[in-house]
Structure 1
């Protein structure tokens, strides 16, 4: 993706089924769970650049001993190995101290001692991240601040284990403001920070209510000794019911995981299945991750052994180890995020790999039309590196199309009785697609983490080109995953590609035109920054239709007065007067690089929504392209986004919804 948009967050969970001593005996490490957690996080490091967080909950700790811990770091996920190294330094420091104490005791008594590294009970007691519930989070924030305090997991502490809570997730709620108002009417004082805080406080409130009800019943019955109440509350705590009550009014896309201080764990997925959640279970662990291949690689298992947590379901693992998966609300029509397949998830998942290749293949008919089938004067490539898989599919489609042409021509030659070997040689050997490596990323850095103000210069420095393979008579075709703002395309990438001096540069986006904001996890919320939106506004101005902008503004305000269930997307009126081709043509004009000596043409081609669904499947979400949102909160978001644009307000739309 040439434009900087923020990824989905990544989650990883390893819940051990055995005592730490089991893993010490079998694998030589009581930190088996932590090691596997870091493995899952490392395999999903593409999902977080703001920082990482690790949580640990220990089972069956004696009264007075801490049981819930958290480590957070603003180091990016690229530096996850450094974070692990820091924690192991702490482990080794503890080991030196404990071993020194034990050696001193041995010298005094003459008794043998077990080294700390081989003593799982001591490791669990002394080292904070040694426990049965291991939770990891890779944050790519879409709301709130971006400091250490905003990193997951969030913790809500109490002297009662059954009221202590740790939460993390990959999500956005569209109605956080509304939920905060509900809390205020209860008499609570929520912090208007992020929707994570809202989620934490709502689950915490329901947890408090359930705990208090159980406590009063047991205390008033007189049948349970006071010193045993905590144990009985823990056993009877209905986590599934707590989640049902908590999520009753939530609107958004989410995978949320949490640990309660008594050792109960839960993980839940939104009713539309927007956010991903995969799980693996064997005799030793139950593990969860945002991406299937992370589980496959870390636990060395095949695809069939990984399952998806069903939408609208919550998986609860009690401290006893008993697991249930049950619905917490009614499942809705499924709309998994298509950007997971286009860009966010790693492409070594077999299904995602095939889907990305199919996205590239779907671009072939439009490109053939654009170049007039002149492959002899066309060079194909890709930029950036994340578009490589789609590019391979694109080449497969080109070759297949060309083979069909050759086959048809040969058949016609034989049918007409005019076989000509010279013509056959010309037909077979000429006019085939040419594939070249044009852009090279010669510095290993992730350009999307740079500050936007300096990003264009950074991209220019990171990429270099292959000289001498493109002639002034050639079309240069490059595949891109998607085009959001077009800023980097205009200011950096097209300027770089123009150095090859082609007759024309054709940019093929494997994603359709991004016309509307996302509000379920991706940081794409400001309408005015979308290049497709800018193109539509420019066309309205050119054709004397500026009144449509004012009319749409008024229509958006009217929509926001309606109940959410009755809202529609009034912003569609901005695009209604124009065809997809007209929008693409205007985008081509808007991204033309300035202040270069190159005088060739720019042609931007976008995937069609029909092509998207042919490649991915009919159920995948397309609201950022079509404007058809899967939840009521989406329609509130898009209408508010246009109002903000019209009134000149920046910022994320879902931060302002109340």
Structure 2
């Protein structure tokens, strides 16, 4: 089996998207619409849990939102005016129904449902300790650790138990939780993963991206702040800040690739930022060429910015088909090779005899870039110059993004010259890390107080990584210890 989007296979993938509604008739149907808008954040599975004031109702399924939640017989049993949902692409835990969220448990305080975007970077250690104390896990997801920490907390109220649990976890999380008392939405103290709040009439809505609010007709109110807990009980909305204040470090890759371009993140248009990155790339890495061609769809805004800044015409030199299913059976190596063209194809009349600047958002393994450059060569391009709208991806992410092991990242093994040879392009350049920050409206990257989590580019992880440190070989553990001591 091979995915029919071979270009996206060589991308970093967000773990998931979450969406919650409190105080709306037909809340589950609204959640289904919101999840449609967040489908790009996770395509393995989807789930919705609702609460009708007395009982919780859940439907979870493998696959896309469409096909699972577009039937009346699926939505109708999800009664209630409160509901939350989740689309999943796994970074921790196996791909199986038992890991599909929202996860649900009956606690001493009543029912508890949770939808999680992110990754708990000390989940293995916490899980090991909980199992030793008698906890029985039903999934392999790191999210279930939070449920057990809430269940075993010695605090009396659910909110205090929940805060106690969050103070024991490290890493990145945006959470939407449902209890008999109301809905809780929160972000980790650094705000690594996104979460926004909206309003539709009297209903309060939470979502991973603002575009999901647009789809249901809700107004964007604000971002949930790093370290903030928003508690919704009927029409009463409370905000709590139980953690010590820290400088926020939201994920910078949301602007590069993860978020939809029509979303607003941290009060910035994602589309406008991507255009600005492309313009900055044109300033830093100019080249004489005839056409600027985006790798669709994620390379389009940056390519527009590059073309406008450089004065080189923008053209759709690669055409993407939007009508191909996600997977199909590959009967032979020959057909598997031809499958690359099912999703993208060169616009040969434009490309033949031209010097082409290809714009893409990132390079991960490099296998995608190699195929695209060859596609341009086969279409008759005279020269192919590859420009990347992010710095080289040299480090793995441990905050809810599916990243290959570091040794599989092309930029961790080769310098730019080596990557140019591997991809077989005439030239290759990346936007600088300072240039990326400039596109976000900052002068440069402050080395002592960077405004974003950019660890995939710099290796500067903003939290401790307990599980990774324990898995590291002894020599690496000593190196990490020496680095932290120094």
TM-score, normalization by structure 2: 0.86
What SS does the aligned partner of 2:254 have? helix
1:380 to 2:295 alignment:
no
Deviation at 1:321, TM superposition (A): 4.4
**Closer, same or farther: CA 512–446 of 1 in aligned 2, 3 Å:** farther
Q: Distance in 1 between matches of 2:336 and 2:272?
A: 31
Q: Distance in 1 between matches of 2:182 and 2:171?
A: 25
Q: 1:39 aligns with which of 28, 33, 37?
A: 33
CA deviations over 1:492-537 (Å, ceiling 9, x no partner): 22221111333321111101100011000110140111011121xx
1:144 to 2:93 alignment:
yes
Contact 1:183/1:190 (CA < 8 Å) preserved in 2? Answer: no
2:361 — aligned with what? Answer: 481
2:433 — aligned with what? Answer: 609
**Closer, same or farther: CA 458–179 of 1 in aligned 2, 3 Å:** same
Deviation at 1:352, TM superposition (A): 0.7
Q: Distance in 2 between matches of 1:147 and 1:168?
A: 16
Q: 2:395 aligns with which of 516, 521, 527?
A: 516
Deviation at 1:456, TM superposition (A): 5.8
2:483 — aligned with what? Answer: none
Q: 1:277 aligns with which of 175, 178, 195?
A: 195
Deviates more, 1:454-463 or 1:347-356: 454-463
1:266 to 2:184 alignment:
yes
RMSD: 2.7
Q: 1:591 aligns with which of 423, 426, 437?
A: 423
Q: 2:52 aligns with which of 54, 58, 73?
A: 58
Question: Which blocks of at least 5 consecutive residues in structure 2 are unaligned?
Answer: 1-6, 443-450, 477-486
**Closer, same or farther: CA 170–271 of 1 in aligned 2, 3 Å:** same
Contact 1:180/1:192 (CA < 8 Å) preserved in 2? Answer: no
Contact 2:28/2:48 (CA < 8 Å) preserved in 1? Answer: no
2:77 — aligned with what? Answer: 128
1:506 to 2:385 alignment:
yes
Q: Distance in 2 between matches of 1:480 and 1:36?
A: 34
What SS does the aligned partner of 1:53 have? strand
Q: 1:8 aligns with which of 9, 15, 22?
A: 15
2:250 — aligned with what? Answer: 336
What SS does the aligned partner of 1:268 have? strand
1:250 — aligned with what? Answer: 169
**Closer, same or farther: CA 187–640 of 1 in aligned 2, 3 Å:** closer
Deviation at 1:10, TM superposition (A): 0.6
> How many pairs does the alignment contain?
454
Matches within 5 A, 1:380-399: 380-399=292-311
2:231 — aligned with what? Answer: 316
1:85 — aligned with what? Answer: 70
Contact 2:48/2:83 (CA < 8 Å) preserved in 1? Answer: yes
Contact 1:312/1:328 (CA < 8 Å) preserved in 2? Answer: yes
Matches within 5 A, 1:142-181: 142-157=91-106, 162-181=109-128
Deviation at 1:245, TM superposition (A): 0.6
Q: Distance in 1 between matches of 2:225 and 2:74?
A: 39
**Closer, same or farther: CA 365–173 of 1 in aligned 2, 3 Å:** same
CA deviations over 1:409-463 (Å, ceiling 9, x no partner): xxxxxxxxxxxxxxxxxxxxxxxx2332211113523769999x99764323322
1:628 — aligned with what? Answer: 460
Q: 1:347 aligns with which of 261, 285, 295?
A: 261
What SS does the aligned partner of 1:52 have? strand
Deviation at 1:243, TM superposition (A): 2.1
Deviation at 1:339, TM superposition (A): 1.3
Q: Distance in 2 between matches of 1:366 and 1:85?
A: 47
What SS does the aligned partner of 2:248 have? coil
CA deviations over 1:94-132 (Å, ceiling 9, x no partner): xxxxxxxxxxxxxxxxxxxxxxxxxxxxxxxxx531112
**Closer, same or farther: CA 306–131 of 1 in aligned 2, 3 Å:** same
Q: Distance in 2 between matches of 1:449 and 1:73?
A: 19
**Closer, same or farther: CA 297–460 of 1 in aligned 2, 3 Å:** closer
What SS does the aligned partner of 2:339 have? helix
**Closer, same or farther: CA 470–258 of 1 in aligned 2, 3 Å:** closer
Deviation at 1:39, TM superposition (A): 1.9
Q: Distance in 1 between matches of 2:355 and 2:409?
A: 26
What SS does the aligned partner of 1:152 have? coil
Deviation at 1:631, TM superposition (A): 0.6
2:350 — aligned with what? Answer: 469
2:480 — aligned with what? Answer: none
TM-score, normalization by structure 1: 0.64
**Closer, same or farther: CA 184–349 of 1 in aligned 2, 3 Å:** closer
Larger radius of gyration: 1
Deviates more, 1:463-472 or 1:250-259: 463-472
CA deviations over 1:264-295 (Å, ceiling 9, x no partner): 32111001110001001355201100001221
Contact 2:98/2:139 (CA < 8 Å) preserved in 1? Answer: no
What SS does the aligned partner of 1:12 have? strand
2:62 — aligned with what? Answer: 74
Q: Distance in 2 between matches of 1:589 and 1:644?
A: 35
Question: Which blocks of at least 5 consecutive residues in structure 1 are unaligned?
Answer: 18-29, 62-66, 92-126, 214-236, 400-432, 536-582, 593-600, 647-658
What SS does the aligned partner of 1:83 have? coil
Contact 1:156/1:204 (CA < 8 Å) preserved in 2? Answer: no
2:148 — aligned with what? Answer: 201
Deviation at 1:238, TM superposition (A): 4.8
1:227 — aligned with what? Answer: none
